[in-house]
Structure 1
Amino acid sequence: MSTNEERRDAARRKLEERLEREQQAAKKRRLSMIAAAGVVVVAIAAVGGYFWWRSWDNDRHTVCDYADAPADLQGQIKSVEAMLPQLEADKKPEAEAFLTTLRDGVKKERTSPKPDSRTLNSGNPELTLATNMGDVAVDLDRSHAACNVNAVISLANDGYYNGTTCYRLASSQNIAGLQCGDPTRTGAGSPGWNSPDEAPDFLEMTPPDPQMAQLGMTQGQITYPRGTVAIINSNNPQAQDPAQQANTGNANFIVFTKDSTSTSPLSVIGKASPDGIKVIDEVMKQGAVVGPGSTAENGVPKANLEIKTASVSDDD
């Protein structure tokens, strides 16, 4: 038979064991709560970090809308052919020369896949046009025309410009430059899509003459400095077809060889290097062919400048 003292000792041991178990259980609960809180903090940090990164990444990208726009040289040929019999005799040679250019252009048509719609909006990749007269390097600038720079990079990487010849020379009091980038040499070729307009708001602009503004001509004169490379478009705000009113640029570009003024807002993709502009100068010095459809101020270059290859050194 156990004594009272033995019973008290046994009760004390049980109490101590129960208290120890409760302390261990409470410790486990605290550890579990700390671990859970840590997971929550990590999860919150991860989610916050993801959204911060996403916002930062979105800020450095632009989303571009490249619209389907296949070339229609055959349609232009039919239109000129239908108009030809109605022309006055002195106008027919020019129309026939244009028809020949269009028919030759059909044989040289090519297309290129649409660029990715999401592109960086800063940085200065370099486009190198390796020509039969020397390299023309162009310092591209995404900050002024991200979508059009992206388009040119895509075209160059796809080989669209390879083996093409610059097709038009402009040399007037206001504008001087060489047009390139159309495999058909018609100025009407297309890779199958158009790029969105990106107005050259950073360039010097002279307000329109008040009298011209009263006639509805509200676009001021834009100055394109020597060396500027810009995308050519055929925008016509008065056109009935909305597709012809804006966003008609694609692969064709002009390299200005003197400070030039125009009311046409062209998307500026960059600037030719000093050595590159000298190559274009040599073509300009030889002038343009004078004949049907080609004048000294706006015509086919006498010098045959061929872009053998176009390549891009990115800055990423």
Structure 2
Amino acid sequence: MTNEQRRAEAKRKLEHRLGTQQAAARRRKIIVVTTSVVVAVAVIATVGTLVTNKVLDDREKARYTACAYTPTPADANPFSQPPQIPPNLSGEQLARAKQFVADFTAGKSKQRTAKVPADRQLKKGDLTATLTTSQGTIPIELDRASAPCNVAAVASLIDQKYYDNTECHRMTEGGTGKIAVLQCGDPTATGAGAPGWTSPDEFPTDLKAVPQDPQMASLGVPASVVYPRGTVAIANSYQPGQGGQASGANTGSAQMFLVINDSELPANYSVIGKVDDAGLAVLDKVYKGGLTPGIRPSQDPTTGAVTYAPTPGDGKPKLAVEIEKATVS
């Protein structure tokens, strides 16, 4: 092989080696770029998923609220311990006591239960509830924004037909107490009935305050607000107490009161909606019919003696109001 041939062969090998190195470099570059792209896409996808989930979570939080409905223990059922007639009663007191026990016993047989509502409910939106009663139709506009958990509870009870064929068991006539309401939603018609669970308190914060007597305030009497005519609110056994020692928190459920005339009450009742004009006409008719005073036992804190007395201005409406059917849409 001549020198010229050797130089040509060496040049060919050099060019081949350089070509091989360049090809390998290109492959490494492609792998690096491809890997980078894959990693970038994965990062973008992960970030996108996180952002999407955050947006969805924010939307869920904006639309829904958590509702802590509490099952009622069996031993808390007032019907588990029927009232006893004290042995020292006679005459009218004994007759009243017997009537009270008879009403209580009749109510026990009508007790109902219902499924607990879902623990997540919409915060906003209106529903229309319609109470078809023996005295006429009472449409109610339910407003989730004011008390979403309690509105959901009532809507759930309506769907379960809990209110069908039940009596509006109590009415007040106002007077010095400035309270005029019709109370419904207790199948037992005793004031003690409940569906087996309670709803969380969602007390109003936008009702007009009633100027309070300083002496009453010093005694720990809670201030009142005005529940306007037509308001529908949930009844409960909440008592503010003194020194912040409240009792009966989160005890509302099925019973509701329909405000016939502006009524002054503590701001302790969740407002769920408003009766429309047609429904107010029905309430006015029932209110004008008057009421039959109820009977209520009371115990002397000193002697422990139990007496039974009528409750002036508070009792069953003389024009019986039976909810024949309740619907919601």
Structure 2 length as normaliser, TM-score?
0.84
Q: In the TM superposition, what is the alpha-carbon distance from 1:25 to its structure 2 partner?
A: 2.5
Q: Cα deviations across residues 281-313 of structure 1 (Å, max 9, x unaligned)?
A: 222222213576666721111222222222222
* Residue of structure 2 aligned with 1:260, choices 260, 263, 266: 263
Decide whether the 8 Å contact of 1:71 with 1:191 is kept in 2.
Answer: no
Name 2:301's counterpart in structure 1.
none
Tell me the C-alpha RMSD between the 2 structures. 2.4
Name 1:150's counterpart in structure 2.
152
Secondary structure of 1:113 counterpart: coil
Q: In the TM superposition, what is the alpha-carbon distance from 1:234 to its structure 2 partner?
A: 1.9
Residue 147 of structure 1 aligns to which amino acid in structure 2?
C
Aligned: 1:20 with 2:23: yes
* Residue of structure 1 aligned with 2:226, choices 207, 210, 223: 223
Q: In the TM superposition, what is the alpha-carbon distance from 1:255 to its structure 2 partner?
A: 0.4
Name 1:169's counterpart in structure 2.
171
Secondary structure of 1:188 counterpart: coil
Name 1:309's counterpart in structure 2.
325
**1: CA distance, partners of 2:22 / 2:294:** 109
Secondary structure of 1:300 counterpart: strand
* Residue of structure 2 aligned with 1:105, choices 93, 104, 107: 107
Structure 2: 5+ residue stretches without partners: 297-309
Name 1:211's counterpart in structure 2.
215
Name 2:198's counterpart in structure 1.
194
Q: Which moved more, 1:104-113 or 1:47-56?
A: 47-56
Q: Cα deviations across residues 31-71 of structure 1 (Å, max 9, x unaligned)?
A: 22022112111201211321232133224332222223353
**2: CA distance, partners of 1:291 / 1:187:** 11
- Cα distance, 1:292–1:148 mapped onto 2, change above 3 Å: closer
**1: CA distance, partners of 2:246 / 2:99:** 27
* Residue of structure 2 aligned with 1:71, choices 77, 86, 99: 77
**1: CA distance, partners of 2:187 / 2:225:** 28
Name 1:178's counterpart in structure 2.
182
- Cα distance, 1:292–1:41 mapped onto 2, change above 3 Å: closer
Aligned: 1:289 with 2:305: no
Structure 1: 5+ residue stretches without partners: none
Q: In the TM superposition, what is the alpha-carbon distance from 1:238 to its structure 2 partner?
A: 5.2
Q: In the TM superposition, what is the alpha-carbon distance from 1:98 to its structure 2 partner?
A: 1.4
| Number of corresponding residues | 306
Name 1:136's counterpart in structure 2.
138
**1: CA distance, partners of 2:207 / 2:112:** 33
* Residue of structure 2 aligned with 1:299, choices 315, 318, 324: 315
Q: Cα deviations across residues 164-219 of structure 1 (Å, max 9, x unaligned)?
A: 111111112311121100000001111112222222211011242111122221x1
* Residue of structure 2 aligned with 1:94, choices 87, 90, 96: 96
Q: In the TM superposition, what is the alpha-carbon distance from 1:28 to its structure 2 partner?
A: 2.7
Residue 182 of structure 1 aligns to which amino acid in structure 2?
D
Higher strand share: 2
Aligned: 1:251 with 2:251: no
Higher helix share: 1
